[in-house]
Structures are given as C-alpha cells and as structure tokens.
Amino acid sequence: MKQQFEWSKDAFEKSVSSRCWWFTGYDDGWTAPGLADDAELQGIVRMERDLEKVPDWASKLVETSIRSVPPCGHYSFPRAYLETASSIGAGRPQSFIHTCFTVDGERKKQMMDYCLCLDAWLAGTPPEAPAKELSVLGHRKADWLAVCRSLWQVLGERTELKDLLVERVLLQTRWWIKSSVWANDLATDFGRDQYLGDYTERGCFATDNGNPGLRAPTFKLDASLRVQKIEAKLKGICPDWPWFRNLIIDGSWPCAPKAFRYLERLLWSVGKERPAVSLPSYPMESGDEVPDFLQAEDTCPDREQAAAWWEEFLHALDAWWQDRDVTGVVTEDLSRRLGEHTNVKRWLVRLYAHRLRLLARHGAKIGRLVKPNPGKKWGTKGLETGEQSGGGDAEDRAPHP
C-alpha cells in the first residue's frame, strides 16, 4: 500500500526534483520565497514519488542536463534546450552539455576577426590594411572596409589610455578564445602560440556548470605580469578603471548571444575614455546611444522569433507529458526527440517545463530574450528546430579569470 503523500520540507529535500533549481529563485531550497507554496512543484514531487524508484540515469539527468541549461540563453539558443529534451528521450544525459562558458570554433573565429582589427589599430596602421586582409581571409562575411573605418573613427585619436585599454581588451578576448571549451575542443585548438597566463590542469568554468567530469584546463590571466602592469597603469591614469575592468572581464563572455554588441559598447567607451552606458554596479544619470559599427547583427538571434519559439516549446512540453495532441513544427520536432511515452519521461518533462518557466520569470537573463520586445531585434536566425545559432544575455555570474 502506498504511503500517503505529504508536501513538506522533508519530502522536497529527499526528492530528485529538488536538485535542478539553479538560477530560478529556488536556489536556497525550501526557504526560497514561494517554493513551499508552489502547487506545480508539489505536483511534480508527488509524480516522482508515484514512480517509487527513479532510475540512476534520470537522477543524473536532472542534476546535470536539466539543471544546467544556460540561464542566459547562450549564443547557440535553442540548442541546449533541445539537447536536454533529446537526453530525456534517449534515457541518458549528454556527454557534454553546451552551457555557460562553452564556445565552439565558429564563434571563436568570429572573435579572431575583430581581434585582428584591434591589433591593427594598436600597430598604427590605417583601416584599409586589416580590411584588405579580412575581405580575403576573414571568417565573417562583412563589409570590412566599412567596419574598420567605423572602428577607427569610434576609437578616435590615439592616447596612452586608449592604447592600454585596447591591449587589455585584446588580452581578455584572446583568453576567452583560448580557454573556452566545446565538445570537440577542450582548450586545445586555439591560442596555442599565445601566453595568456599559467596553465592550470583543472578549473575550466564549464566544469561547474553542468560538466562535473570534464577535464579541461584554464589559464591564470590575472597572474600574468604583463596584465598586472597594464592594470596598475590604468588604475593610475583612468578614473573610471573599475567600470572598464568590470566590463572587460565580466561583460566580455563569448557565450553571450550579444557578445559582439557588448564589444561595441566597450570600444565606444574606450573611444570616449569614459563609460558610455550605465551598468547596475556603476549607474549613471544618462548613457550614450551606442551605434552598430561592427556589423555583428547576424551573430545574434531575432528576439521576436526566439520569444515565439520559447512559448511554443513550453506548450509542447506540457502537451507531451499530459498526453495531449497538438501540432506544429516545434511540437513535432520535440515528439521525435522524446520518443515513446513512459512515466519517468513524463515526470522529467514536467519538471523540465517548470524549471524553464521559473528560469525565464525569476532567475536569469533568458527572460530578456524570450519575452517579446517589438522593434528590438538582435539578429535574423531561424529557431524552429535549433539548427541555427542565437541566444540570450550573459553578464552577472562569471568569476574573474
């Protein structure tokens, strides 16, 4: 005879369903605001209890795949969200979770093109020089002459402060290119000719965000004497150095869908030798309108498309675990990924849907991406089955490298 279910702290904490609420507002467990009164979560825990035994693969999937979908969307949106659905269907977690701080070679090559531009500016060349090279050999397809001329205009007249800031931006960007990982690149393929801090065998950020078994290195950039000398000089001559340092380090993540928009914001500020926009940690009364001078719109998703996809995906998850018949491209793709209905899968899908709703509502900047904002477009990439890139924001949670 089954024991009567009682919703309580003990019931929640003993459940597998309690292990996946990173960045949702429920991070503090039972004492988190609203958790004890969450009727849907109560139903999910009851559904888990009715299984009597949760398979090991399902427990691991909750603790990794479901817990670690990117809370800020990721530039490859909606890839990670669909991969988690595929894992539920296959009955096993992904071998590599494409979550925070994971970046593929395509994205790194796009960043390298912009690094070449900044290197050329530091070298004192006219914009036509890097533009000629990039037009032939560059990874991105853009009007590189227009990009370079606009960048040179934005940066303006050379000063010691601008030189130091641009050099520090370059070092940080190249550190990200070298240290970020992907399933087929554990910090082994890029930047091998660049010293960007001492090699450390373990410590890759992606390890803490869903890939606990990942053996990938990091590089201690802040221990570099070169970086320390640059920062010491900037601290002495730049009144707004704390703002710049915050943006260079914690606002430069290549996994952010708007990474190149952030770079535009930073370079616009370098050109003015002052903060051009407000940040929560450095508020200003007013900010400048930063133009699109890097021609990077196609590296970002279309916000309205992303919002429409998200809504349909959540409806499809609900319909699947409830055994309701619905139609649509997203729904049909999800059904193929999830495969045959089982009670364990129904519980996992219900848990997953609730986590995603809380993620968008409370815990992360994914909400900025998946809530419609007419006229605010970041790009034009298709999202129906996750075959193209896109993403949400990433700005609040990285430890300093």
Contact 100, 394 (CB under 8 A): yes
- Does a structural domain hold residue 242? yes
388, part of any domain: no
69 and 14 assigned to the same domain:
yes
- The answer to the question of residue 212 being in a domain is yes
The residue range of the domain holding 68 is: 9-99+308-359
∠ Cα 245 246 248 (to 5°): 60
Number of domains in the chain: 2
Do 201 and 338 lie in a common domain?
Answer: no
**pLDDT at residue 280 in the model:** 63
The confidence score (pLDDT) of residue 285 equals: 59
Are both 275 and 188 inside the same structural domain? yes
Structure tokens at 390: 């896109």
204 and 179 assigned to the same domain? yes
Q: In which region does residue 103 sit, left (phi positive, over 0), alpha (psi from -120 to 50) or beta (all else)?
A: beta
Q: Tens-digit pLDDT profile for the chain (401 aa)?
A: 567 899 999 999 999 999 999 999 999 999 999 999 999 999 999 999 999 899 999 999 999 999 999 998 889 999 999 999 999 999 999 999 999 889 999 999 999 999 999 999 999 999 999 999 999 999 999 999 999 999 999 999 999 999 999 999 999 999 999 999 999 999 889 999 999 999 988 778 777 777 878 888 899 999 999 999 999 999 999 999 999 999 999 888 899 888 999 999 999 999 999 998 766 666 665 577 889 999 998 888 788 888 999 999 999 999 999 999 889 999 999 999 999 999 999 999 999 999 999 999 875 578 888 876 655 554 434 444 544 333 333 333 333 33
Tell me, yes or no, whether 369 lies in a domain. Answer: no
Q: Which two tokens stand for residue 351?
A: 């848990």
Q: Do you know the residue count of the chain?
A: 401
- Let me know whether 36 and 109 are in one domain: no
Regarding whether 259 and 243 lie in a shared domain, the answer is yes
- Estimate the crossing angle of helix 329-338 against helix 79-90, to 10 degrees: 40
Query: What pLDDT is attached to residue 207?
Result: 79
pLDDT of residue 301: 77
Dig out the tokens for 82 from the structure: 């669909």
**pLDDT at residue 321, rounded to an integer:** 98
Residues 289 and 314 in one domain: no
Residue 268 and residue 124: Cα distance in Å, rounded? Answer: 18
Q: Do 235 and 258 reside in the same domain of the chain? A: yes
